[in-house]
Amino acid sequence: MESFQLEKKEDKTKGKPHRGQWKNGCEFTLSLIGYGVGLGNVWRFPYLCAKNGGAVFLIPYAVFLVVLAFPMTLLELSIGQYSGKGAYGVWDICPALRGIGAGMIGVSFVFCLYTNTILSWILYFLYNSFLSPLPWTTCDNWWNTDTCFVRNKMVGNYSRYLVNITNNLVNTTDIMHTTNYSLLTDAENKTSNSSLIQTSTEEFWNYNVLRISSGLDDIGAMQWHLVISLVIAWIMVFLCILKGVKSVGKVVYVTAIAPYILVTIILIRAATLPGAIDGIKFYIIPDFSKLANPQIWAQAMMQIFFSMGMGWGALITMASYNKFNNNVMRDTIIYSIVCEGTSIYAGFAVFAVLGFMSHETGIGVAEIVRTGPGLAFITYPEALAQLPIPQLWAVLFFLMMVCVALDSMFVSVEVCITTINDLIPNVTPRKRLMVTAATCLIMFLATLIYTTQVGVYIFQLVDWYLTSVTVFLTTAIEAIVIGWIYGADRFIDDVEKMLGKRPSVLFKILWQYVNPTLLIGLLVFTLVKYQPPSYGNYEYPSYAAAIGWIIALITSVPIPILMIKEIRSRKGSIIQRVKTSFVPNDRWGPAKGYGPVGQM
C-alpha cells in the first residue's frame, strides 16, 4: 500500500515541558524485564510445559517467540521510542484508530486492579509466613471445617490427619478424588460445605484468605484483612512510581533482580531434597507425540503472547521515555531471551519442590501440579511446609512474588498516568504528583470489590474474558496499521533513523503478513474454543456470561466511537474524510525535539 502523506495540523506539543527519560539504558532494560517476568512465568508456564510434552513444548514456544513475540515487541517499543508518546498519543500515526490506544489503556486499568488484588493476597500470605506453625498446615483453626485434613509424610500410600467432629469414617478413595486439579481453577467452592474434603492449605485459602461466598449472587461482607493488605499494596505502588521513570528506574534494581536471587536460593535448596529429580524429570522429559496436537501450538502462542506483554500499551509507554537513538533492537533481544529464559528457569524451582512434595506425600506430581493462583496459594505453600524451617522458605517465596507483582504494577499504572499527563498542557512535577495520587486512589476504590466474599468469582470472570479477546483484537489491528496503513517500508525507515542501520526485510514480511495472520487466527481460535466461565465446582449463573462479554467488549467500544468522531471532524466528501482520518497528522514524528535528558 502506498504510504500516505502527513496531514498538516497544528502541533500542540510545542512549548510543552520535557516528559523525562530513563537515566540510562540499564534502568529501561530492567524495567522491561521486571514487566515481562510476571506471575504467569511462575505459575502458568511450568504447568503448560509439564502438561504439554515437557521440553517438546519449547519447540512451538520458540517458534512463536521468533515469528510473533519478537517482531511485535520490536514494533511496540519502536513506535513508542520514535514518537516519544504514550499508548494513546502514539496513535497520531493513524488518528482514526486512536480507539486502539484507548482500549489498551482500559485493559491496563483493569489489569492493575487484577494484579494488585493478587498482590494483596501475596502480602497476606507473607504476613502469615512469619507465624509458627504456619496457619495453613493445621486443621484446628477457627476457619477449618469438620472434613479438613493435613497431608503428612508417606506411610505406605497416604497418611492423613482428618478432623471430623461427627467421627464419621471417610473413605480414602473420596479423599484421593479431591487431589485432582483442574487447568482453570484454583479452589473449590464452599457450597458443598462439610461434604467436601479439602486439605488444610485449601481451607486456609478458601475460608481464611478469601472467606469465599456460595456464589456470584452472594456478595457477602468486605474482608478487612484484605482491605488492609490492599491499602499497603497501593501505598507501595504509589511510592515506587512517585516520580515516574525517575523513581521506577531506581526501584527496579531491587524488584527486577531480587526474584532471580530468591528463585536461585529456593532451587538450590530444593535440588538437595529427595524426589526433586523426579519432579524435574516430569517437567522436562519430552513427549514428541504432543507436537501433532494443534491445541499445544495454540497454548504456546497464547502463553508467549501474554508473557511478553504485547497489546497492553505498556511496552509503548516505557519506550516513550527512551532516548531517540537508544538501541531498541538490542533491548528487544535481551528482553525476549531473559523473559522466556526466566520462565524455563523458574520451572526448575517449581518442579523440584513439587517433586519433593510428591516424595513426602506419595501423591504423583501430575496430581499435585496446578496452574494459576492455585499453584502460588495452595500447592506451593503446602510443599514448602514440608521443608525444614518452613517459615524461612515461605517468606522467601512470597517476597519473590511481591517483587514480581510490583514490577508488573509499576508499568501498568504508568500507562494510565502517562496518558493523562500527555493530555495535560504544561505538566509540572506537582501536577504529575496529583495525577499519580488520584490514579492510585481511584484504582484502590475500584479494587475494593475484590475484597468482598464474592471477589474471587468476579476476579475469575474478569480473567476469563478480558485478557483474551480484547488484547488479541487490538494487537491484530495494531499490526495491520503498521504493516499496511502506515506502511512497513515507511516504518522500517523510521527504525533506521533510530538505529543508524536498516532492519532486515524479514520484518516487513512478519509485520505485513505473518503477525496479522497469527493474531487473527488466535482471536478466532479463542472464540471457537469458548466455554462458559467456571470456578472449581461452581457453575456461574447464565447472566454471568453476558456480564463477561460486556467486560470483554467494553474496552473495544472506543475503537468505533473515536473512529466516527475523527471522520466527522474532517472536511470534504465522506471518502475524503475517511482517507484523511487514516493519515498520520503532523504530531506524529521523531521525538528528537523534546530536548535533553531531564527529570520528571
283 touches 54 (CB < 8 A): yes
The answer to whether 588 touches 491, Cβ cutoff 8 Å, is no
CB 354 within 8 A of CB 177: no
Give the C-alpha separation, 51 to 394, whole Å: 26
- DSSP letters spanning 269-334: HHHTSTTHHHHHHHHH---GGGGG-HHHHHHHHHHHHHHHTTTSSHHHHHHTTS-TT--HHHHHHH
Cα–Cα distance for residue pair 552/306, rounded to 1 Å? 16
For 440, the grid coordinates are 492510585
Three-state secondary structure call for residue 157: coil
Helix axes 390-423, 258-271, angle to 10 degrees: 160
169: Cβ contacts below 8 Å, ≥ 6 apart? none
Distance CA 256, CA 248 (A): 11
Find the farthest-apart pair of alpha carbons in the chain and give their distance in angstroms, rounded: 83
Please name the residues in contact with 109: beta carbons below 8 A apart, sequence gap of 6 or more.
416, 443
DSSP characters over 34-82: HHHS-HHHHHTHHHHHHHTTGGGGHHHHHHHIIIIIHHHHHHHHHHHHH
- Cα→Cα distances 512→78, 518, 584, Å: 16, 11, 18
Q: Is 407 annotated as a binding residue?
A: yes
Is 195 annotated in a binding site? The answer is no
Distinct helix (H) and strand (E) counts, the chain: 28, 5
Phi (first) and psi of residue 198, to 5 degrees: -135, 150
Say whether 408 counts as a known binding-site residue.
yes
| DSSP conformation letters of 361-372 | H---HHHH---T
- For 75, half-sphere exposure in the C-beta direction (CA atoms, 13 angstrom radius) is 34
DSSP 539: E
Q: How far apart are CA 506 and CA 143, in angstroms?
A: 59
Query: Residue 7 gets which letter from DSSP?
Result: B
CA 294 to chain centre: 24
Matching residue, cell 513426602: 360
| Residue 347 assigned as binding residue | no
323: left (phi over 0), alpha (psi -120 to 50) or beta: beta
- Check if the beta carbon of residue 201 is closer than 8 Å to that of residue 383: no
Binding residues: 34, 37, 41, 307, 407-408
Binding residues for Na(+): 34, 37, 41, 307, 407-408
